Chain A
Amino acid sequence: MLLGAAALASLSGGMPSVANALEQENRIGGRMDVPHHEPKAKRVIFLFQSGGPAQMELFDYKPDLRNRMGEEVPRSVYPDDRKTTMSSAQASFPVAPSPFRFSQQGQSGIWVSEVLPHTARMIDELCVIKSLHTDAINHDPAITFQQTGSQVPGRPSLGAWLSYGLGTFNADLPAFVALSSKGSAKTGQPLYDRLWGSGFLPSQHQGVKFRNVGESVLDITNPPGVSRDLRGDLLADLSRLNSLRHADTRHPEIIQRIAQYELAFRMQMSVPELLDFSGEPNHIVELYGQDCLSQGKYAYNCLLARRLAERGVRFIQLFHQGWDAHNNCPTQVRRQCADTDRATAALLNDLKQRGMLDETLVVWGGEFGRTTYSQGDISHEGYGRDHHPGCFTMWMAGGGVRRGCAIGATDDYSVNVVENPVSVHDLHATMLWLLGIDHLQLTYRFQGRDFRLTDVAGNVLNELCA
Chain B
Amino acid sequence: MPDETRGFNQVVRPLLSENCYPCHGPDTATRAADLRLDNEREARRVTDRGEDGQILLLQRVLSTDPDEIMPPPEAGKSLTVAEKKMLVDWVESGAPWKQHWSFMRPESPPVPATSGNQWCQNPIDTFILSELHRQGLEPNPAAEPGTLARRLCFDLTGLPPTLYQIRDFETSCNARGMAAAVNDFIDELMASPLYAEHMSLGWLEAARYADTDGYQNDRYRYQHAWRDWVLKAFNEKMPYDQFVIEQLAGDLLPAASLWQQVATGFCRNHRINSEDGSIPEEWRVEYVADRVDTLGTVFLGLTMGCARCHDHKYDPISQREYYQLFAFFNNVAEHGVGPNNGNSPPFIELPASWPIINEADDKALVPAPVELRAARKDAGNGLQRPQAGEPNTVMVMHDLPQPRMTFRLLRGQYNLPDTSEKLLPAIPTALATITSTSPGNRLDLARWLVDGKNPLTSRVYVNRLWQQVFGRGIVETSENLGAQGSLPSHPELLDWLALELEQSGWNIQHVQRLICTSATYQQSSDVPDEKLRSDPENRWLARAVRSRLPGFVLRDQALAFAGLLVNRIGGPSVKPYMPPEIWSSISNNTYDQDAGESLFRRSLYTYWRRTIPPPTMVNFNAAPREVCIVRTEVTNTPLQALTLLNNVTFVEAARCMAERIASPENSTDECVVALFELATGRKPEAVEQDVLRHSWQMAHRYYLEHPDAANDLLAVGESPRVSQIEVTKLAALTNLALTILNLDEVICKE
Q: Which residues of A approach B to under 8 Å, CB–CB?
A: 10-11, 81, 84-91, 137-140, 152-154, 180, 188-194, 197, 202-204, 208, 211-215, 217-227, 230-231, 233-234, 237-238, 240-242, 244-246, 248-254, 256-257, 260-261, 263-264, 267-268, 296, 319, 321, 375-377, 386-387, 440-441, 447-449
Contacts and interface: CB of A to CB of B under 8 A. Distances in A.
A268 to B, nearest CB: 8
A213 B578 CA distance: 13
Contacts of A204: 635, 637
A226 B648 CA distance: 13
B498 interface: no
A220 B642 CA distance: 6
A139 B275 contact: yes
Given A180-B586, A190-B216, A376-B379, 9 more contacts: A191-B586, A214-B579, A219-B642, A234-B698, A249-B526, A253-B636, A260-B636, A376-B380, A377-B379
A224 to B, nearest CB: 4
24 contacts: A84-B279, A85-B277, A85-B381, A86-B378, A86-B383, A180-B585, A193-B618, A218-B643, A223-B648, A223-B651, A225-B711, A225-B716, A226-B713, A234-B735, A237-B694, A238-B739, A249-B526, A250-B527, A250-B529, A250-B532, A253-B744, A260-B640, A447-B480, A449-B313
B356 interface: no
B484 interface: yes
A319 B585 CA distance: 12
Nearest to A85: B383
B745 A245 contact: yes
A227 B273 contact: no
Interface string B508-543: 000000000000000001111100100000000000
Nearest to B694: A237
A448 B485 contact: yes
A193 B612 contact: yes
Given A139-B275, A221-B646, A252-B532, A193 B611 contact: yes
A260 B638 contact: yes
Contacts of A137: 277, 279
Nearest to A220: B642
Interface string B721-750: 000000000010001001100111100101
A193 B624 contact: yes
Contacts of A250: 526-529, 532
Contacts of B483: 448
A264 B484 contact: no
Contact of B691 (A152, A241, A321): A241
B276 A449 contact: no
Contacts of A256: 636
Contacts of B638: 260-261, 263-264, 267
Contacts of A189: 216
A448 B642 contact: no
Contact of B585 (A211, A238, A440): A211
B635 A447 contact: no
Nearest to B701: A230
Contacts of B703: 225
Interface in B267-303: 271, 273, 275-280, 303
B586 A190 contact: yes
A197 B526 contact: no
A237 B691 contact: yes
A254 B415 CA distance: 54
Nearest to B415: A81
B743 A245 contact: yes
Contacts of A11: 637
A153 B714 CA distance: 42
Contacts of B627: 152-154
A193 B742 contact: no
Interface in B250-273: 271, 273
Nearest to B629: A154
A274 to B, nearest CB: 15
Contacts of B482: 448
Nearest to A296: B585
Size bracket, chain B contacts: 35 or more
Contacts of A214: 579-581
B669 to A, nearest CB: 16
Interface in B354-411: 376, 378-384
A212 B579 CA distance: 12
Contact of A91 (B313, B380, B528, B716): B380
Contacts of B334: none
Interface in B638-653: 638-643, 645-648, 651
B620 to A, nearest CB: 9
Contacts of A213: 580-581, 585
A441 B76 CA distance: 9
Given A85-B383, A237-B694, A448-B314, A386 B744 contact: no
Nearest to B77: A450
Nearest to A441: B76
A386 B277 contact: yes
Contacts of A249: 525-527, 546, 750
A138 B216 contact: yes
Interface string B681-695: 000010110011011
Contact of B646 (A197, A222, A234): A222
A223 B741 CA distance: 15
Contact of B615 (A180, A218, A253): A218
Contacts of B495: none
Contacts of B155: none
B123 to A, nearest CB: 29
B588 interface: yes
Contacts of B165: none
Contact of A375 (B380, B637, B643, B706): B380
B626 interface: yes
Nearest to A377: B379
B713 A191 contact: no
Query: Closest 7 A-B residue pairs measured CB to CB?
Result: A448-B484, A90-B380, A84-B277, A89-B382, A225-B713, A190-B587, A225-B712
A194 B750 CA distance: 33
A86 B376 CA distance: 9
B744 A242 contact: yes
B714 A225 contact: yes
B626 A85 contact: no
B709 A192 contact: no
Nearest to A154: B627
A249 B280 CA distance: 57
Contact of A154 (B303, B626, B635, B713): B626
Contacts of A377: 379
B314 to A, nearest CB: 6
B491 interface: no
A197 B645 contact: no
B621 interface: yes
B126 interface: no
B273 A140 contact: yes
Contact of B382 (A88, A224, A226, A253): A88
B556 interface: no
B735 A226 contact: yes
Contacts of B621: 203
Given A203-B621, A230-B699, A140 B215 contact: yes
Nearest to A152: B627
Contacts of B647: 218-219
A192 B702 contact: no
Contacts of B636: 10, 253, 256-257, 260
A35 to B, nearest CB: 18
A386 B380 CA distance: 11
Interface in B612-636: 612-613, 615, 618-619, 621, 624, 626-627, 633, 635-636
Nearest to A190: B587
Nearest to A443: B76
Interface string B314-344: 1000000000000000000000010000000
Given A10-B636, A189-B216, A245-B744, A194 B624 contact: yes
